Structure 1
Amino acid sequence: MPRTPTEFSVHLLLEGGHREEVRFPTIQDFQKWYTSEVAQKSTSGDFVSVPIKNIQGEYMVVRPSKILAIRVEPVFSSSVERFS
């Protein structure tokens, strides 16, 4: 039986080497944000809002033209972090 992720961790690699991580409850939520905010405005220098649902009282804005890479990683509630 395939496991179902509890959320998706999205890693944004920004120009200048900065990295940010935000989490989305479903892959569809990420896809909706990406297509409506990032993909349509990919060359824009205007700020777009990045949803941060797990940190209350904080928000983040980013310029879509400054996003160099995005990595989407499924997170499972049964995941165990291992340090080597």
Structure 2
Amino acid sequence: MISNKLNINNDFFQINLILIRNIRIYYKMKPPVCCICDKELDYPDEGGLIYFKKGPSDKKWDKLMEEEGMVGHPP
């Protein structure tokens, strides 16, 4: 057992485990729990992107960006 080999008490080990998990979450840029189904995600393969139907303003932006010389981030 790691805690026995390193001579670390359980409270310290649990705190380190939480810190390591938070770093992994930050690195993967994913939340630890799905916002839609409340399922805890198992990295790196679970979870995904959600796409929403484009509204009139989105379609207008897409058409504007098709013009030559137009660049930018959608609103």
TM-score by length of 2: 0.22
Q: Tell me: higher relative CO, structure 1 or 2? Use CA pairs within 8 A at least 6 residues apart.
A: 1
Higher helix share: 2
Higher strand share: 1
